[in-house]
Structure 1
Amino acid sequence: MTLQPRASLGILTSDQGQLPNSKRGTEPRAIENPATLGFPVITEIAEGTLGRRTPHGDPVLERGYVEAAQRLVQRGAVAISSNCGFLIRYQAVVAASVTVPVALSSMLLLPTLIRQLPASAKIAVLTYDSTTFGDDMLELSDPTERSRVVVGGIEGSKYWHDELKIPAPPTDVAAMEADVGACITGLRAKHPEIAAILFECAGFPVVAPQIRRLTKLPVYDITSLCRMMIAAIT
């Protein structure tokens, strides 16, 4: 008897590697942790996609992400996401390669979120690296809406440096909380109109509750988007 693949959320990951027996991705609220969404999760490494090349949208990496997405579907993925928000730059090519819903980045939420806020309000996008974050990631064509988006990054932080290592070490959650907290505090000092926060980085959800408590603002991330996908198909 042939066993049928178990319905799961498929997660694309880069070929960054990690330490042996690492618990990366098992932290509470991590996208790779099945307990985060209460739904089975499977992952596939996109071969040749070193993490440091992914943020730039290198076209050479497209094949690796497409083939990994197709393997996920073969293994039973009923929807596909990723563990890197910069994969918004591969959204179209991956979505065209499979027949299940694909949402590779929380940035897909931005057009909806900005329309939920009053015209006087701004939304803060917190990114892993603002130096490689461009307007092409915002999914906004209206200049007025673009003017309401404030982008801040944690480049140069401990987490930023750790993610560039091969293999990448376990996530230092305390350091991430401090760096993300400092980033949003600085942004709000300059832009008191900020009324909501969107995490570009798919690693940031592990500190979402802490940032909600710090700011008293709504915080959205890749898990927000994945919950919507799962709810719509189960």
Structure 2
Amino acid sequence: MTRPVVSGSRVAHGGKAVYGVNLGVLMLDARFPRIPGDMGNGETWPFPVELHIMPNVTPELVVMGNPLDYLPVAIESARQMIARGVSAITTNCGFLALLQPQLAAALDVPVATSSLMQIPSVQATLPPGKRVGVVTVSAATLTPAHFRAVGAPEDTPTCGTENGREFFRVLIRAEKDDLDIDLAEADVVAAARELIEKNPDVGAIVLECTNMPPYAAAVAAATGLPVYDIYTLVTWFVGGIRPRVFPVPQRYLKA
């Protein structure tokens, strides 16, 4: 028997250009490879994301210069994504932590700019006498102001990849378009080892750079410490914006 159709029982409401995409990512303008695990690779994420490139805002300009110079373009780019339908904003450079207060104030959706935002919560998990350390693409330009902007201790120990063979010169100096994955991993692992050698009280590591998640497992294996990065931040962030629905199987219900 055909069920009668009740007019108005299923009405879809519009008003946006894009649906089903909760997260918008402010992307720097770069041409290096973005392998799985990299924030700019769509296959990294277990949910849809929208990637919005900020033209001519390169990693070198942001990491080696002043990220605040690019606040206007970041706000405008974020607003464009929000108008299209995203319900939260993140970025693909940990140095944009410096923009966290301003972006959060300017936008009408939740904002999580940097993996560095995890430092206070990770610190709360550690035993007395231990603290969080950071592996960054550039320790020389990661300042107390970056930490202060996300509520992290200004004296957080850091170690960078500037003296490595591959990671820094490809991502920041843009000396070539191809990436030797093994050399890049070795650079990140070497920085993590140096971090804990110089700071024995480090009990957990946060990877600042959004291109470092492909190497997080190698860092954990090399150091024996918990490792957090932009992937762990964003999956937590979106988990609150789009809570998982847990269907109740029939076997749990009374007949």
Aligned to 1:224: 232
Aligned to 1:121: 130
Structure 2's unaligned 5+ residue stretches are 1-13, 243-255
Q: 2:59 aligns with which of 36, 51, 56?
A: 51
Q: 1:14 aligns with which of 28, 34, 39?
A: 28
Check the 8 A contact 2:148/2:154 in 1, yes or no.
no
One-letter code aligned to 1:185? R
Change (3 A) 1:212 1:89: same
The total of aligned residue pairs comes to 226
Q: CA deviation at 1:220?
A: 0.3
Normalising by structure 1, we get a TM-score of 0.86
Normalising by structure 2, we get a TM-score of 0.79
- State how 1:63-212 maps to structure 2 within 5 Å: 63-139=72-148, 146=154, 149-157=156-164, 158-165=166-173, 169-212=177-220
Check the 8 A contact 1:196/1:217 in 2, yes or no.
yes
Bigger drift between 112-121 and 197-206 goes to 112-121
Structure of higher RCO (CA pairs closer than 8 Å, 6+ residues apart): 1
Secondary structure of the corresponding residue to residue 123 of structure 1? strand
Check the 8 A contact 2:25/2:51 in 1, yes or no.
yes
One-letter code aligned to 1:178? A
Bigger drift between 203-212 and 111-120 goes to 111-120
Check the 8 A contact 1:84/1:202 in 2, yes or no.
yes
One-letter code aligned to 2:20? A
In the alignment, the residues of structure 1 paired with residue 41 and residue 86 of structure 2 have an alpha-carbon distance, to the nearest angstrom, of: 15
Q: CA deviation at 1:102?
A: 0.8
Bigger drift between 81-90 and 5-14 goes to 5-14
In the alignment, the residues of structure 1 paired with residue 93 and residue 172 of structure 2 have an alpha-carbon distance, to the nearest angstrom, of: 13
Structure 1's unaligned 5+ residue stretches are none
Check the 8 A contact 1:86/1:105 in 2, yes or no.
yes
Change (3 A) 1:140 1:5: closer
Deviations 1:179-226 (A, max 9, x none): 111111122222222211000111110111111122221100111111
Change (3 A) 1:3 1:33: same
In the alignment, the residues of structure 2 paired with residue 183 and residue 225 of structure 1 have an alpha-carbon distance, to the nearest angstrom, of: 21
